[in-house]
Chain A
Amino acid sequence: MSQFLQVLLSGLATGSIYALVAVGFTLVWQAAQTVNFAQGEFVMVPAFFVLVGTHVVGLPLWLALALALVVSVVLIGALFKKLVVEPILPSGGISLIIATMALGILLKESAKEFYGAEAQPFPAMFPTDPINIFGAVVSMQDILNLIISLGVVVLLTLFLNRTRTGRSMQAAAQNPAVAEILGVNVKRMVMYTFLINAALAALASFLITPVYLAKFSNGETLGLIAFIAAIVGGFNQIRGALVGGLLIGVLDNITATYITAEYRAALPLVLLIIVILVRPQGIMGTSEGRTV
């Protein structure tokens, strides 16, 4: 029982970070009706900003994290929206999807070029000491990762539902034409969405890189798993992305522990196929509309 709890908590911790990235997929889908295939690289890059801050500039970790967050929000939030999404979106969603694939390759190869192909150690933000929860031994880092990720998703949901700005963002996503005639600044709301996505990606990066180490190729796996998590949960619902992320994290751990570690990479794909066959809109998704 304690082993199961251990596997469960550890899976939830990883899954909650997948959920952060999956929420980003959902947000960008709502704002621009496109899939950002550079999302995985958006999670890979902020870790390198931190390493540049700590190793090259010599900043303390907290300052490097703060600066990396700001730089990420500017580069993969505002500039991504201004330089990639805005000019290409009028040409159609497919063009933008291809552009994000190209951007992903550019970011990956740039990281490799500037920082090397070797995995770089990344400082942990939290102590990794094991703690005992009802007999399950899990690391403090896992528990804090879980708490922070879930806390951020809950805060984001509260922001979107309980504030006027959040509801304006929902209006801009669900019915931009109506939002405009009501006086909502649709462009600004869409920009907010991209900034939030960048901040989520940076946070996911800071939480997961101490476990995975900083490597130029981290985005490939992470992006794919989060994309599947968003589809499994329901691409048009934040809570769907959350459920999808947690589900994949937990199932991955359970499979690796109790069945086989050999095929764990196939699990998300199997889950994806099942969900598409049984419930194409995803576990929590709705088939009729766009929702933030």
Chain B
Amino acid sequence: MLEVKDLHGGYGKITILNGISFSIPKASITTVIGPNGAGKSTVFKAIFGLLHIDSGQILLEGRDVTRQTPRQMIAHGVTYVPQGRNVVPQLSVYHNLELGGIASPDQAKVRQRIEAVMDQFPMLREFRNRKAIELSGGQQKQLEVARSLLLDPKLILIDEPSIGLSPNLVQEVFATLQRLRDQGVTILMVEQNAKAALAMSDYGLVLELGQTRMHDQAAKLLADPRVGQLFLGGHVENAALAGAD
């Protein structure tokens, strides 16, 4: 589904990605973990066309999408949910959802999708006329996830969906992502809550210093003591595991 090959890039002259490579299969959830500064969010931005790529290649279903703009990535069926709060605060819930389909030439279909998405997230229907800023943090995150579904995406890049959410809401968001995976959507997720995220994922990807350190089935990574070591501030000595998918 998505293949990233030896990606180098960063913010201007500051290089963050130092040769990240991985591939993820269709209809799967892959969680990206790693210490601060590992390049987790940066690789999402690079894939989505939000920052400079020095070298490397990104393939989506075999098609080269390296250095495409966000609008082009949306057209290819990729949506991105950044970390933090990403609603348009003064617009209503309904109009925030509508913006998720702004790139579509078929607005009648977008309206149908909004109805379908509100069926999936009944809270959004209840609060459809409320300003987005008036929703709780968890509700705003649900709105963001729902909005990312408006164009019927093939791949969702979601960054730190659990930040600021109560444990119950985190489980709700994770369950939503699993439901989407079961419907055929591919999900690539960055998550600080590594244990919980790996437990609900199919694959895991460990990044460190802008490089792929480990890439394996989520269950295997969860059982690997080196993953814990990495998050305790250590380094994975055996880099040979990189790309071992």
Contacts and interface: CB of A to CB of B under 8 A. Distances in A.
A289 interface: yes
A179 B102 CA distance: 10
B15 interface: no
Contact of B91 (A171, A177, A185, A288): A171
A86 interface: no
Interface stretch (A19-27, A162-170, A195-203, A216-224): A162-170
A158 to B, nearest CB: 14
Contacts of A171: 88, 91, 99
A168 B107 CA distance: 14
Nearest to B86: A178
B102 A164 contact: yes
B150 to A, nearest CB: 9
Given A170-B91, A174-B88, A288-B133, A181 B80 contact: yes
B43 to A, nearest CB: 15
A100 B15 CA distance: 36
A174 B100 CA distance: 15
Contacts of B74: 182-183
Q: Is the interface of A mostly helix, strand, loop or mixed?
A: helix
A248 B56 CA distance: 60
B147 A182 contact: yes
B70 A167 contact: no
B87 interface: yes
Nearest to B81: A181
A291 B90 contact: yes
Nearest to B95: A167
Interface string A252-286: 00000000000000000000000000000000000
B158 to A, nearest CB: 12
Contacts of B147: 182
B98 interface: yes
B137 interface: no
B90 A184 contact: no
A180 interface: yes
A167 B99 contact: yes
Contact of B89 (A167, A175, A179): A175
Interface string B92-130: 000100111011000100000000000000000000000
29 contacts: A164-B98, A164-B102, A167-B91, A167-B98, A168-B99, A170-B88, A171-B88, A174-B89, A175-B88, A177-B82, A178-B86, A179-B99, A180-B50, A180-B70, A181-B48, A181-B50, A181-B79, A181-B86, A182-B99, A182-B100, A182-B103, A183-B70, A183-B74, A184-B99, A184-B102, A288-B133, A289-B90, A289-B133, A291-B90
Interface of B: 48, 50, 70-71, 74, 79-80, 82, 86-91, 95, 98-100, 102-103, 107, 133, 147
Interface of A: 164, 167-168, 170-171, 174-175, 177-185, 288-289, 291
